[in-house]
């Protein structure tokens, strides 16, 4: 029987579990809400138990912050998340103890970045941002994840506030920081500013230009810090068809020709893997690589 590989995209809103083959073809995928740790992890284990005799490895890409230091006593834990009930949960340990296979543990955005790199010809340096309920980013240079003591937390960098936010004294919706990227540009900031859920806001509303201003700052930061070949923006906020052009235009204005980049239409893009499958593809590949080492 051929080997199979598992993917867990552990998001703050939902878990997506999948099993794929050596060619990364998905045999089965399921998703369910992220409720309590006990219930959510139990459903994850139940899904993979049906394939236990063929599984060769599983990769978990999780919402964070998480501990990815293998020498740490809390390796595999979700740490200081504001998500209720999930702080200091041993996510990796509670799943891994049920299976006799190797596990790869990283962030959900790292998984997505890896999947996006795989489908882009001659790309080995890439930054992937998700702009949704929260903001996170995974960065890859020369095919390797960037990180030292832990993973990056690019969603919580401080950014100059938009003049409208200055005048309205809006500091964002992040419970940890006043004026960070996530608090000012993630989905909840739309409702915090307008009182209207993001999906119900008209496309011609000025609030989208405010969002684009912050997201473009993220692209400038990625350009200056990592010099990637491509920057990918995923997540629900960027699912708005009009947002990509807004971000590209503001990025061009903010960078102001300081560094050479590829044409902006090729440099700042949305995911190439269809159906939000970037993390699943990345995880399947990471699980396969791990099982072969």
pLDDT at 226: 95
Cβ-contact 117, 145 below 8 angstroms? no
CA distance 118 to 124: 9
Within 8 A by CB and 6+ apart from 108, the residues are: 9, 10, 11, 61, 62, 63, 64, 130, 136, 279
What is the pLDDT of the chain when averaged over all its residues? 93
Cβ-contact 29, 18 below 8 angstroms? yes
Taking CA atoms, 8 is separated from 46, 172, 209, 250, in Å, by 13, 30, 34, 35
pLDDT at 240: 84
| Residue whose entry in the numeric block shows the structure tokens 């993979």 | 48
pLDDT < 70 positions in the chain: 1
Nearest to 217 by CA among 147, 127, 157: 157
CA distance 76 to 95: 10
CA distance 194 to 162: 15
Tokens of 246: 């807004």
Residue 128: strand pairing partners: 138, 232
Cβ-contact 138, 147 below 8 angstroms? no
CA distance 94 to 203: 44
Residue 215, CB-side half-sphere exposure with 13 Å CA sphere? 34
Domains identified in the chain and CATH numbers:
4-108 (3.30.420.40), 120-269 (3.30.420.40)
Tell me the pLDDT tens digit for each residue of 157-207: 999 999 999 889 999 988 888 999 999 999 899 999 988 888 888 888 899
CA distance 192 to 173: 7
Q: Is the peptide bond before 109 cis (omega within 30 degrees of 0)?
A: no
> How much is the pTM?
0.93
Within 8 A by CB and 6+ apart from 48, the residues are: 6, 17, 19, 55, 58, 98, 99
Nearest to 262 by CA among 116, 123, 168: 123
pLDDT at 134: 87
Tokens of 213: 């201003």
List the strands of the sheet with 14-20, edge to edge.
26-33, 14-20, 4-10, 55-62, 103-107
Q: Helices 187-194 and 207-226, interaxial angle, to 10°? A: 150
């Amino acid at each position: 029987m051929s080997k199979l590989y598992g993917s867990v995209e552990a998001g703050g809103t939902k878990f997506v579990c999948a099993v794929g083959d050596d060619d990364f073809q998905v045999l089965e995928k399921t998703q369910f809400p992220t409720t309590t740790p006990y219930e959510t992890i139990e459903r994850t284990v139940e899904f993979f138990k049906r394939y236990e005799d063929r599984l060769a490895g599983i990769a978990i890409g999780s919402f964070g912050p998480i501990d990815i230091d293998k020498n740490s006593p809390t390796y595999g834990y979700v740490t200081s998340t504001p998500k209720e009930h999930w702080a200091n949960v041993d996510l990796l340990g509670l799943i891994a103890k049920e299976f006799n296979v190797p596990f790869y543990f990283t962030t959900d955005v790292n998984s997505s970045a890896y999947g996006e790199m795989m489908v882009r010809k001659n790309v080995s340096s890439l930054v992937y941002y998700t702009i949704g309920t929260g903001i996170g980013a995974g960065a890859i240079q020369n095919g390797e994840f960037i990180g030292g003591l832990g993973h990056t937390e690019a969603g919580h960098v401080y950014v100059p506030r938009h003049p409208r936010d200055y005048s309205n004294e809006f500091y964002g919706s992040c419970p940890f920081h006043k004026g960070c990227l996530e608090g000012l540009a993630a989905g909840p900031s739309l409702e915090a500013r307008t009182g209207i859920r993001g999906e119900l806001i008209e496309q011609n509303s000025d609030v989208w230009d405010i969002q684009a201003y912050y997201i473009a700052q993220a692209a400038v930061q990625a350009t200056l810090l990592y010099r990637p070949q491509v920057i990918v923006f995923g997540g629900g906020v960027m699912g708005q068809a009009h947002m990509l052009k807004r971000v590209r235009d503001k990025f061009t204005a903010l960078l102001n020709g300081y560094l050479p980049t590829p044409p902006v239409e090729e440099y700042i893009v949305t995911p190439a893997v269809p159906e939000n499958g970037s993390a699943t593809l990345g995880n399947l590949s990471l699980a396969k690589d791990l099982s072969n080492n």
